[in-house]
Amino acid sequence: MSDPADSGSPGDPAAEAGALLALPYAPPDETVAYGPHPSQVVDRYLPGRRGRNAGARVALLHGGFWREAYDRRHLAPCARALAELGFEVALVEYRRVGGGGGWPESFLDVRRAVGGDGAAAGLVVGHSAGGHLALLLAAAGVAPVVALAPVADLALADELGLSGGAVREFLGGAACASADPMAWLPLRAPARLLHGARDTEVPVTLSRRFAGAAGAPLRVLSGVGHYALITPGAGAFGALVAVLGHSRR
């Protein structure tokens, strides 16, 4: 099920990335480990007192095509902004390709962080490669999910050669179906998808195919690329906040 594309002014994907990376780093209130590896940690952002979201818990899974070069820091401003709206936020790090991760280690890490000992809980929000991991969590029934520009169809992502063959790097020779959210259907927990119509990093076709197969709600934002959804102050970030509120009901 897909919502019609929203109206909006066209955006520049490169400008979106620049706007996100220009935001100052927002340090967490505390960092806790959920395993012995340096990447097995969760940054906690404690909630502010305003808004109807007080008491709601959100776990954030960052993207970066599962590669070690990209860590959770670029989602720190998003985590802080959600905390200021009343959410209790857990920004999850996980092992990545080139740092002990890949398939299945990256997924096992986020499942442990979200499903174990309260390190993270409630709603899981994943962006890009983090959206892929989030959809697997929904398929496994671990938690309800909001997936932002997710790599939702690994077979198609591999066929398109996204990010210079990132899918094959992630799989490390494993069968694609074993890690593909499309092969895990039907979902055992609710999932909602948000995707920019102008996304050139992860084309919206991937979300359309997954949403159609899973019967999951998909909202496509016209004039939006890959990064605005996780950039506080961008119009698309407001769409994320609205979906989070809806997903709590």
Beta-strand ranges (E) seen in 111-184 are 123-127, 145-148
| CB distance 211 to 218 below 8 Å | yes
**What pLDDT, on a 0 to 100 scale, did the predictor assign at position 126?**
98
Per-residue pLDDT of the chain (249 residues; tens, 9 = 90+): 444 444 344 457 789 999 999 999 999 999 999 999 999 999 999 997 665 666 789 999 999 999 999 999 999 999 999 999 999 999 999 999 999 999 999 999 999 999 854 445 689 999 999 999 999 999 999 999 999 999 999 999 999 999 999 999 999 977 678 899 999 999 999 999 999 999 999 999 999 999 999 999 999 999 999 999 999 999 999 999 999 987 665
Q: Are 117 and 42 in contact (CB under 8 A)?
A: no
Q: Give the C-alpha separation, 132 to 93, whole Å.
A: 15
Statement: 13-247 belongs to CATH 3.30.420.40: no
The two three-digit tokens of residue 195, written as one number? 């995707």
How much is the pTM?
0.93
Nearest one of 100, 128, 123 to 40, comparing CA atoms: 100
Distance between CA atoms of residues 191 and 214, nearest Å: 9
| Pairwise CA distance, residues 214 & 202, whole Å | 19
Nearest one of 169, 227, 230, 220 to 2, comparing CA atoms:
220
Q: Are 129 and 100 in contact (CB under 8 A)?
A: no
Residue 191 forms beta bridges with which residues? 145
Q: What is the pLDDT of residue 203?
A: 97
Cα–Cα dist 159/34, whole Å: 35
Predicted pLDDT at 122: 87
> Per the structure block, which two tokens stand in for 123?
């709603």
Secondary structure class of 235 (helix, strand, coil): helix
pLDDT at residue 3, rounded to an integer: 47
| Token pair listed for 131 | 């959206």
The residue ranges of every structural domain in the chain are 13-247
Question: In whole angstroms, how far apart are CA 249 and each of 240, 242, 243, 244, 246?
Answer: 15, 12, 10, 9, 6
CB distance 193 to 210 below 8 Å: yes
Q: Which helix (H) or strand (E) holds 33?
A: strand 30-33
